[in-house]
Structure 1
Amino acid sequence: MSRTSPEAVFVLAQAAMERGDWETFFACLDRSDLKPLASMGIPVGEDPGGAYSNVCLEHGVPVEALQRVRACAEAIQDSAQRMMSESVGAVSGAAPPEDLLQQSLRHRDLVKALDRAIAACLGFVTDLAAFTAKAERLKRATMGGGSVSSSLFVGESLVDVRVEGKKATGIRRMQNGWSEPIAFVQRRDQWSIKFLPKRR
């Protein structure tokens, strides 16, 4: 089924979720909303057996890019420990508050560097939906849960769809009577779901 309308892509994503087809489900999401989910597949902390690293390597992420992520993560951990020590020093009067401020600014820059390193890794991935799907299965197998609910869209209906150019909005009507807004965007004649739309 093609994604020629907001209704079509919603039905496609819904059917994919019902049968556990993560590749198709993630392919229905807009790339701007898929990236945060995909970033969870980049190993930042411990990676037992190198499982997440292997997924990254299979999808074109070079070893050097993964090493950069790990280096940034380790620098953040060291920075956090220094901040804790300097906080204690500032309270006791052993360290001036200015030192704590400077360390806080350095820590902020390290976090930004980690974000850039993760984004660089994702830049090497040609099929972001397939990568996210494989990482999702790995998370569920090793952690017992994933990045999205496995019942998302299941049993729901899409109502009140309003299209304005290349953007659209609608309402997800759930079986329990609750409703949630949802948004769509059209790129290259194909509609995608804005997974986390701004509430109206």
Structure 2
Amino acid sequence: MKSKVKLIGLSIFSLFAFQNIAAQKIQKVNGKNVVNPYYSRTDTKILKVSNADWKKVLEKNLFAVSRLNDTEMAFSGKYNDFKGIGTYYCAACGNALFRSDAKFSSTCGWPSFFETIRPKSVIYKTDNSYNMERTEVRCGRCDAHLGHVFDDGPAPSKKRFCMNSISLEFEPNQKIQKK
């Protein structure tokens, strides 16, 4: 009986450990597969991670946009004309950001949304770069640069969250299987 209990306990532990490993994101960094220990689609705790540590776990282009505030070229991102149904997450940390039903075609060259998935999923900062006054949008969990928000979006919010595709990761909705 004790061996059955141990076996069940070991099986449950193995399943839990496997799920945690599967939830971590693996990326190529400098030609090597690297696990991003800060990535989670369920944890909403705010992260305080140095750029030096982010550089060790993020792919070069994602690091440049999310940590150094670069911007991908207009009309070049994979989600600009994308029409999938699901959820968009922060590519750096896994924080839920937008639902596909809040995405709209703005023709600005970057994926655009009219609202976030929840109020604290993003944070806002004043951006005076390039002799312009804009509102920068950053991930509310890891402070990654995502893009900017403007007041020329559709009703009801009148907001246009203009995001870099590389800063986003898309997960399609699960289909309900009929038996």
Same fold by TM-score, threshold 0.5 exceeded?
no
TM class, shorter-chain normalised? Answer: under 0.3
Look at both structures and tell me which one has the larger radius of gyration over its CA atoms. 1
Which of the pair is proportionally richer in helix?
1
Q: TM-score, normalised by structure 1?
A: 0.22
Which of the pair is proportionally richer in strand?
2
Higher relative contact order (CA 8 A, sep 6+): 1
Q: TM-score, normalised by structure 2?
A: 0.24
